[in-house]
Amino acid sequence: MREAKDGPPNRELYALLHLSPEASDEEIRKAYRQWAQVYHPDKYQAPHMKEIATENFQRICEAYEILSDENKRLIYDIYGMEGLTSGLELGPKLNKVEELKEELERLRQRKEQEKALAHFRPSGTILASLSLPQFLEGDGIMRGMAMSSEVQSQLSKNSILAFGGNLEVNDDSGGGAASVVLRHQLSSVSSIEFIASAGLRALIQLLLGIESSISVGWQKKDERMSAAGELKIGTSSFGASAHYTHRFSKKSHGRIQGRLGSTALELEVGGGRKISEFSTIRMLYSVGIQILLSRHFSSFFATGAFIIPASVYFLLKKFILKPYYLKREKQKALENMEKTSAQVQEAKAAAQKAQQLLQNVANRKRNKQLEIGGLIITKAVYGARKALTKLGETGESSDELASQVLDVTLPLNFLVNDSGRLKLHEGVKKSGIMGFCDSCPGEPKQLYVEYTYGGNRYEVLVDDYEELFIPQEAHRI
């Protein structure tokens, strides 16, 4: 995956084979042979060990297949695994980095356009109203019919212009409306619309007749809330209305709406909760009642009508809505933690299984370094930065802290070379190293290492993408 916005690319395939992103073809082949010797399934007789070896051997083969192919490696370096799964057809005409970039960008733009068009398609409906009692009485069975249609034009990647209309006939009367809509996508979860219509209640509306009026409104909607308001001024009346809906979770929401003007003062507070796929329970509380203030617009009444519901809303928000919202946020955080907990436990189990097959070689290397007073990793922990900081401050490990870190002493001892040196390459995320895993998705991570060399003790703390080279005198305790 690409992490252009969040940091360097993962480059997990390089981490898996313990390679630098600048590794030569010979270094890639050498690394593949080394890891294949450790994880080849034929080396193991026990069924569970053979299963672990097979799973990790497949990962090694996949990494080697990509990094040993010049074109695939170029695509992986530029766009990660996303580029390899994008449907790009490799061939002799795509040998340069610039050509690959251009082709991948073209495919990306085409997919984005297809995705946008899939969300904005022309539509239309025809509804017929039939009456069986009317038919049995000798009249026609058809009571009425309604038709609507919409044609959309893509102005840009995020903007469309839509023309729509509807006609309705019921018995011997009928009506119709036409509208123009400009939609602009602000983000993946929110958009803004400007609507003008004739004969249809909309955001910008002009009605002419005995009771003429003009109204202007606004609306906003995203994944957590929706709000709308309207101001209407007529020849003999004035009015304003607004509503706000907040979704506390996928199953529950709260709503407040009000209406005020020269003929009404009304405030309603309510909410709902989905109790099953097919049913929802809703509650609605009215604060005040609809009343006739005046048939003529009065600034005094309008001001009072605004202050009263605003004050009520402020009190409701401070003492009811906000505490409930904070409680729901905390509950949602716990639900997300529980959801990712199973994935983290699975990743940890896979990492610990991978470490089992490294144990024999790591112990041999450790014993050899012990004989010559060389490099020995005595403790290595990889995980959340906050968890490592608390462990360093208190020196005590709780279950919560332990769940956010992973002991990687064994795999680091395995990676020590014959010269008694260990190097983890810069720009390569350490969770991809064999025997490592991401124990805290989304959290900044670090690696803490304690080691001995020449009879002296050392320690070092590095960030996730930072290079690590040991031993160094600067690390000496």
Residue written as token pair 């294949």: 36
The answer to whether 160 and 120 are in contact (CB under 8 A) is yes
* pLDDT at 6 (0 to 100): 44
Better-scored residue on pLDDT, 472 or 106: 472
Can you tell me the mean pLDDT for 147-158? 73
Q: Has residue 7 got a pLDDT over 50?
A: no
DSSP 8-state code for residue 476: B
**What amino acid occupies position 369?**
Q
* pLDDT at 239 (0 to 100): 80
* pLDDT at 303 (0 to 100): 55
Better-scored residue on pLDDT, 85 or 247: 247
48-64 per-position pLDDT tens digit: 899 999 999 999 999 99
Can you tell me the mean pLDDT for 130-149? 72
Q: Has residue 261 got a pLDDT over 50?
A: yes
Mean pLDDT is highest, among 180-194, 266-280, 362-376, for 362-376
CA distance 80 to 8: 11
Q: Has residue 66 got a pLDDT over 80?
A: yes
Q: Has residue 211 got a pLDDT over 90?
A: no
Q: Has residue 226 got a pLDDT over 80?
A: yes
- The answer to which of 94-108, 127-141, 213-227, 274-288 has the lowest mean pLDDT is 274-288
271-287 per-position pLDDT tens digit: 776 665 545 555 544 44
The answer to whether 76 and 67 are in contact (CB under 8 A) is yes
* pLDDT at 471 (0 to 100): 94
* pLDDT at 294 (0 to 100): 46
Q: Is this structure's pTM higher than 0.75?
A: no
Long-range contacts of 252-255 (CB under 8 A, 24+ apart): 252/328, 254/321, 254/324
* pLDDT at 202 (0 to 100): 36
* Residues 6+ away with beta carbon under 8 Å from 244: 225, 226, 227, 255, 256, 257
CA distance 399 to 379: 19
* pLDDT at 106 (0 to 100): 73
* H or E element at residue 258: strand 252-261
* pLDDT at 122 (0 to 100): 63
- The answer to which of 166-170, 225-229, 389-393 has the lowest mean pLDDT is 166-170
Phi and psi torsions of 159, nearest 5°: -130, 140
**Model confidence at 201, in pLDDT bands (50, 70, 90)?**
very low
Phi and psi torsions of 430, nearest 5°: -75, -20
379-423 per-position pLDDT tens digit: 999 998 988 888 776 666 667 778 889 999 999 999 999 899 999
Can you tell me the mean pLDDT for 321-346? 76
* Cα 385 off chain centre by: 22
* pLDDT at 95 (0 to 100): 52
Cα atoms in the Cβ-side hemisphere of radius 13 Å centred on 84: 18
**Model confidence at 109, in pLDDT bands (50, 70, 90)?**
confident
Percentage with pLDDT > 90 across the chain: 29
- The answer to which of 166-170, 185-189, 239-243, 405-409 has the lowest mean pLDDT is 185-189
CA distance 434 to 56: 9
CA distance 167 to 179: 12
**Local structure of 347: helix, strand or coil:** helix
**Model confidence at 127, in pLDDT bands (50, 70, 90)?**
confident
Q: Has residue 42 got a pLDDT over 80?
A: yes
Can you tell me the mean pLDDT for 190-198? 69
